[in-house]
Amino acid sequence: MFGKILKTLRINRGMTQADLGSKLNISKVSISKYENGNQFPDTDTLKRIADIFNVSTDFLLGREEAIPQNLAFDDLRGLTEDDLKKVNNYIALIKKQRQELEEIEKEL
């Protein structure tokens, strides 16, 4: 489970195995072994991985199912300014629709 979670987090951040290995001062081969379940990081490395992805070690180990709140924000990385405007417009539309629905429910 750890390997699958690690790979998902790494890919969602747009990182290669070499990128993550560099941040942890370990080889990309070690990252590959972690992701394939052939090796498990020591406690210190596990904590550093959690810090890099801003998740708990419990999340990395599959003990915590809640998705970190910042994960959605990480998905915004790499978007153009035009894309970000579209995202903001969509959020505004959702809020407006929710407000209109609440007003209708009050009238009933």
For the ranges 14-23, 41-50, 68-77, the lowest mean pLDDT is seen at: 68-77
Q: What is the pLDDT of residues 84-99, one digit of tens each?
A: 788 888 888 888 888 8
Q: Is 27 left (phi over 0), alpha (psi -120 to 50) or beta?
A: beta
Distance CA 67, CA 58 (A): 12
Q: How many CB atoms lie within 10 A of CB 41?
A: 19
Q: How far is CA 45 from CA 36, 39, 48, 53, in A?
A: 17, 12, 5, 12
What is the pTM for the complete model shown? 0.60
The tokens for 65 are 């199912």
pLDDT grade for 42, boundaries at 50, 70 and 90: very high
